[in-house]
Amino acid sequence: MAKKNQTLGEFIIENQADFQYSSGELSRLINSIRLAAKVVNHEVNKAGLVDITGAAGEVNIQGEDQQKLDVYANDKFIQTLTNREIVCGIASEENDDFITICGQKEDHNNKYVVLIDPLDGSSNIDVNVSVGTIFSIYRRVTPMGSPVTIDDFLQEGNQQVAAGYVVYGTSTMLVYTTGHGVNGFTLNPAIGTYYLSHPNMQFPEDGNIYSINEGNYNHFPQGVKDYIKYCQNQEDGRPYTARYIGSLVSDIHRNMIKGGIYIYPKSSTSSNGKLRLLYECNPMAFIVEQAGGKASDGHQRIMDLKPTELHQRVPFFCGSKNMVEKAEEFMK
């Protein structure tokens, strides 16, 4: 039973038996993510005081300009996970290909691979808006003792053993699930410890917030346009409130607490959508479903989609269950 104000370390130890393959390795992996997140948080909080904001001058595999903090966060998470020797492979939204961890012979015997978006919403750093980190953890499917292959990363979301996000905002929170509900931990910066502040987080079944970039309205499918008009109609408790931050972590975190729907659909300019299935949609879908919400591509469950490439993009609808189902009705 989760006890409010217990530390993240205490929580992990007490709930280790909930892990399907309880060996301590997954616990150490989550602890490593906790450590890297504290390092990144420290740097994020110095933005504006040191030369860490702005573009890094490089373009990532997504065709997006990398921010300096993108590069910093990516390096820190990869470095921390590699040095702890607890994963056999890492895939990052910022890297062209996956990384095989083979510093020591026994590294190939590690069970888990991690997929990560090191700094979601990084373009907001310069204007002091909340950003985040998203992570997804799978058990490898290739034989132990051999190097990882692409098959270890191209798994359906329903095979995740853990997923979570860190939101760097007015306070820093780590929210994660191992398939037994969702719990949120807030960092006490004075002592560097995360405390359980949001036990058993749940999406309200209904909400009154819709989060979508309406600036792209003319490019949206007709079903999405019709749903937006539905949200704006003055009947049955509507119109809903439009809230869009532009950081996936922040938008979904708010909607999970207050009730709402987040939509990033395909469009005439992005035929497959913009969000990445492996680094953003699958981990968020796991969290959302564990919190009683729903996540789909507008037609089918996100976590049942079979990935075909490392940086695959998909449309994304997630949030309060009744709101997502209503949006899906319009998409038909």
* Token pair listed for 306: 């079979």
| Mean pLDDT across 153-169 | 96
Residue 23 near residue 31 (C-beta atoms within 8 A): no
Q: Report d(CA 21, CA 152) in Å as an integer.
A: 17
Which of the two residues, 107 and 260, has the higher pLDDT score?
260
What's the pLDDT at 15? 82
* Token pair listed for 176: 């994660």
Q: Report d(CA 69, CA 185) in Å as an integer.
A: 23
**280 appears as a binding residue in the annotation:** yes
Sole residue written with tokens 């970039």: 213
What's the pLDDT at 163? 97
pLDDT digits (tens, 9 = 90+) for 75-128: 999 999 988 878 999 999 999 999 998 755 555 678 899 999 999 988 787 788
| Mean pLDDT across 209-236 | 96
Q: In this prediction, what percent of the chain has a pLDDT beyond 90? A: 70
* Token pair listed for 219: 């490019």
> Which of 146-150, 253-257, 288-292 is the least confident region?
146-150
**213 appears as a binding residue in the annotation:** yes
Which of the two residues, 23 and 287, has the higher pLDDT score?
287
How does residue 47 score in pLDDT terms, banded at 50, 70 and 90?
Answer: low
Residue 138 near residue 112 (C-beta atoms within 8 A): yes
Length of the chain: 332
pLDDT higher than threshold 60 for residue 42: yes
User: At the top level of CATH, which class does the domain 8-198 belong to?
Assistant: alpha beta
How does residue 56 score in pLDDT terms, banded at 50, 70 and 90?
Answer: very low
| pTM (2 d.p.) | 0.93
**93 appears as a binding residue in the annotation:** yes
Helix (H, G, I), strand (E, B) or coil at 299: coil
Q: Report d(CA 286, CA 290) in Å as an integer.
A: 6
> What does the DSSP 8-state code read for residue 199?
T
Which of the two residues, 1 and 9, has the higher pLDDT score?
9
What's the pLDDT at 86? 84
Return the domain boundaries, the chain. Answer: 8-198, 209-331
**225 appears as a binding residue in the annotation:** no
Sole residue written with tokens 């702890």: 84
**58 appears as a binding residue in the annotation:** no
**130 appears as a binding residue in the annotation:** no
List Cα–Cα distances, 291 to 175, 179, 331, in angstroms. Answer: 11, 10, 24
What's the pLDDT at 25? 80
List Cα–Cα distances, 206 to 25, 214, 261, 268, 331, in angstroms. Answer: 38, 21, 9, 30, 19
Give the CATH fold of the 209-331 domain: D-Maltodextrin-Binding Protein; domain 2 (3.40.190)
What's the pLDDT at 143? 92
**132 appears as a binding residue in the annotation:** no
Residue 66 near residue 94 (C-beta atoms within 8 A): yes
pLDDT higher than threshold 50 for residue 137: yes
> Which of 80-84, 191-195, 199-203, 308-312 is the least confident region?
80-84
Residue 303 near residue 158 (C-beta atoms within 8 A): yes
**117 appears as a binding residue in the annotation:** yes
| Mean pLDDT across 198-209 | 97
Average pLDDT, the chain: 90
**123 appears as a binding residue in the annotation:** yes
**120 appears as a binding residue in the annotation:** yes
What's the pLDDT at 142? 94
**122 appears as a binding residue in the annotation:** yes
Q: Report d(CA 283, CA 278) in Å as an integer.
A: 7
